Amino acid sequence: MTRFLTREAAIRWAPLLVLIALVILFTAINPDFFAQRNFARIAIAAAPALMVAIGVTFIIVMGSIDLSMEGAVSLTAVLFCFAFLWLGGTLAAGGWLAIPLALIVGGLIGLINGLVHVKLRIPSFMASLAMGFVGTGAAVLITGGDIVRIEDDTFRALLTWRIAGFPLMVYVVVILAFLAWFIQNHTTLGRNFYAVGGGEELAHASGLNVRRVRITGFVLAGVFYAIAGMLQVAKLGQAESVTGANFMFISITSVVVGGVALWGGIGGVWNTVVGVLIVNVINNGMVVIGLPDYVQDGMLGLLVILAVVLSTDRRNISFVK
């Protein structure tokens, strides 16, 4: 019995218990929260955010940070739309080729991120933040500040075609989440992420090419950001220079609330899934019960502080930077 009351057990199960408690609380206040239609709304809102959060999870597990997601999502979404229209404007006419193109662009953004961080020895948060600004600026330059729309019904079926009440994009995201979990737990690359996050010097001493692992992690994150960009286009039917707005706050908050340690080596994909659901349940639940936006932000801020308090062993920290 005592092993279920340890600090490690609390860290592991606290996010899931918080999620369950939130669902019960909002349902008790307003039974409409528990309706399938409302769960579908939560899932739609969470789908692109989960892809971004999974991408940044790989980076944080390595002990680094990536703040380029807003620019990466905006740029890949815009380029996807332009390529989609140039290739015929429909999936059947050749627009499907825009999908691998967007994934390649996302990977290249991540590659540049990783190279600037590793080769130029610039802290990851600064290198990625700068790259995020570059991505947003490029999106503004390409669009001229305009909106690029996609009206192909086949592509928009990701949102409009529903199975058991949930849109197709939700099932796509579930499959991709399992793919991310497989990479994390059943590939050498995934194990290397944890090795680097658990102790870079030890990983280097054991013969691991730490630089290559870090760069590969940023490339993988960029691919997931590109997927999020395309899902945003499917959801909104358009792309613009601010398509990736707010993803930085949502993704980092979700990762921390879900139990992924910011110093690396602890947590993973399923922690992030729970974290994304917590954030979106709070956002949706506050709307359902009629509370203003600033209360939502305050609630998320308190959860972030609580998550960090629970996951940090301050007895072993002499100074908090």
pTM over 0.85: yes
303 in Cβ contact with 285 (< 8 Å)? no
Q: Is residue 152 part of a domain?
A: yes
Q: Is residue 279 part of a domain?
A: no
- The mean pLDDT of the chain is 88
Q: Is residue 256 part of a domain?
A: no
Q: Is residue 51 part of a domain?
A: yes
Which domain does 58 fall in, by range?
A: 39-244
Pick from 105, 44, 106: which is nearest to 236 by CA? 44
More confident residue, 192 or 1: 192
Query: What b/e string do you get for 50-71 counting C-beta neighbours within 10 Å, with b at 16 or more?
Result: bbbbbbbbbbbbbbbbbbbbbb
**pLDDT value at residue 293:** 72
Enumerate helices (H) and strands (E) in the chain, giving the number of each.
13, 4
Q: Is residue 299 part of a domain?
A: no
Q: Three-state SS for 1?
A: coil
pLDDT tens digits along 61-89: 999 999 999 999 999 999 999 999 999 98
Q: Is residue 8 part of a domain?
A: no
Give the count of beta carbons closer than 10 Å to the beta carbon of residue 200: 18
**pLDDT value at residue 3:** 53
Q: How many distinct structural domains can be found in the chain?
A: 1
Q: Is residue 7 part of a domain?
A: no
Q: Over range 43-50, report the average pLDDT.
A: 95
Q: Is residue 308 part of a domain?
A: no
pLDDT over 80 at 47, yes or no: yes
